[in-house]
Structure 1
């Protein structure tokens, strides 16, 4: 299926620019997981909130937001302090109540592991940004290498006591782009951290936003194919790169800004596809 560009627009770029202005507004925040980043003013809190909220962003958006509200209540809205002082023995019972968290995909034991890995990460690096910058090189064309190093090091830390290694489910939640995963949620987290406008917070200003890769969710995937931004049939890292490279023809310095346009159009047309 193809999407016909409305007659009032002379090109796909003009149409996408119009959609970007339509959806890239503060009104977008309250209906999106990025709302949990905007609750905080300290960068260390914003990073942890963003990492957790993005990893759990799968399935029904309303349920995602409600589930995150429960989780941030457990953290007493102090995400960095909560993670830094996280005791898996103390919180094991509390997190066991999160059964089928975030639309039946994530359970309490997954949260227990993620929090414990994050605890060790910030004990060693202070902030998530510092770990990412360890692997970031401005000479590379995209964030792929930095993201892969970031993921591999987080997964290299010890699992919580009683766990015999990192569960396979965690590899699905924190995927490595080198394995050709589209890394939708991690790329969304990076968009939040690197881009700066009225929606994205842009607290990682050491990273060049032109190197970001579009978060490839179901809506972006379908709409990108319908707009001719990719010819690939499966959702992989290479597909996300192809879409991003085509968007760079319109906005070389900030191609991922069109995530708002494509995602928003997908929401509008979801009854059609």
Structure 2
């Protein structure tokens, strides 16, 4: 393997050619559609209108942290009460209706006021720009970078008068966690997840309702599962879950598919979530994994297991 410089800027062509067939085989063996039921992506899949899809998707992605069996009922209950058209609901939303919807709402770091800002911000975006897509594209054109575009997007959504909301629902608690502004150095996993849903596809997993942003511009939604597996596969040498690490992983994935670098994200993330590829490697799982030819940890685990068996056989 050629020696890399200190700054890892993605896979070399030779490394990409070695990894591509492994990832393609892995993706082909994954029943991604069956996994949608275990993913917050299930919520926007309920709708057909692009505006309903993007509103439900941003709400679901924003609250998709912690255990799925805890956040999914929260998102489901909100969407049920918002009626058949989430977009129509947020367009007409005002503070009294927000209070009616969100009084007493609590999910981990977030309270009703936090979610009200998100919903009111989406309603304002739809009224003034026609879509969340148009709001994001405006930021992309103005800032010229993906990070800048997301920062402009969340900042615009948070332009909601806070005094009436605080009076109606109490003070905000985890608003920055829900809608970070300024965006900061973190990977912004849930926001990039939302963008993947909107931009990629439609392919049975992602919805592809945004037509003015190309999939080639997407950044990997980096979480602990993607970070761990990416390091095993040589997509990054970094250990943190920062924006820089997400950029490094994405640069490596662009060497595999320049037009659609994050197409492996859903399958890889659920592979980690399922427990098949846990933090502590399971030798039996590694030996059957289609990623084994490219996985440094899997190969080390397999060699250790083989050595143990050989030692036992010599006794």
User: TM-score, normalization: structure 2?
Assistant: 0.75
Question: Highest Rg: 1 or 2?
Answer: 2
Change (3 A) 1:160 1:72: farther
Distance apart, 1:217 and its partner CA? 1.5
Residue in 1 aligned with 2:96?
89
Query: Is residue 2:280 matched to residue 1:272?
Result: yes
Change (3 A) 1:23 1:122: same
CA distance, structure 2, for counterparts of residue 67 and residue 167 of structure 1 = 18
Query: Is residue 2:149 matched to residue 1:146?
Result: yes
Residue in 2 aligned with 1:254?
260
Contact 2:186 2:243 in 1 (8 A): yes
Which of 58, 66, 69 aligns to 1:51? It is 58
Residue in 2 aligned with 1:205?
211
Query: Is residue 2:19 matched to residue 1:12?
Result: yes
For the residue of structure 1 that corresponds to 2:164, the secondary structure is: coil
Residue in 2 aligned with 1:245?
251
Q: CA RMSD in A?
A: 2.5
Change (3 A) 1:105 1:139: closer
Residue in 1 aligned with 2:186?
181
Distance apart, 1:114 and its partner CA? 1.7
Gaps in structure 1 of 5+ consecutive residues: 1-9
Residue in 1 aligned with 2:302?
none
Residues paired across the two proteins, number = 260
CA distance, structure 2, for counterparts of residue 138 and residue 269 of structure 1 = 41
CA distance, structure 1, for counterparts of residue 176 and residue 161 of structure 2 = 14
CA distance, structure 2, for counterparts of residue 235 and residue 192 of structure 1 = 21
Contact 1:117 1:158 in 2 (8 A): no
Distance apart, 1:167 and its partner CA? 4.3
Moved more, 242-251 or 218-227: 218-227
Query: Is residue 2:32 matched to residue 1:32?
Result: no
Contact 2:117 2:157 in 1 (8 A): no
Distance apart, 1:109 and its partner CA? 2.4
Equivalent runs, 1:127-138 vs 2, <5 Å: 127-137=131-141
Contact 1:96 1:108 in 2 (8 A): yes
Distance apart, 1:159 and its partner CA? 2.7
CA distance, structure 2, for counterparts of residue 222 and residue 195 of structure 1 = 23
Distance apart, 1:107 and its partner CA? 2.0
Contact 2:188 2:243 in 1 (8 A): yes
Query: Is residue 2:86 matched to residue 1:79?
Result: yes
CA distance, structure 2, for counterparts of residue 117 and residue 167 of structure 1 = 15
Distance apart, 1:176 and its partner CA? 4.8
Change (3 A) 1:11 1:51: same
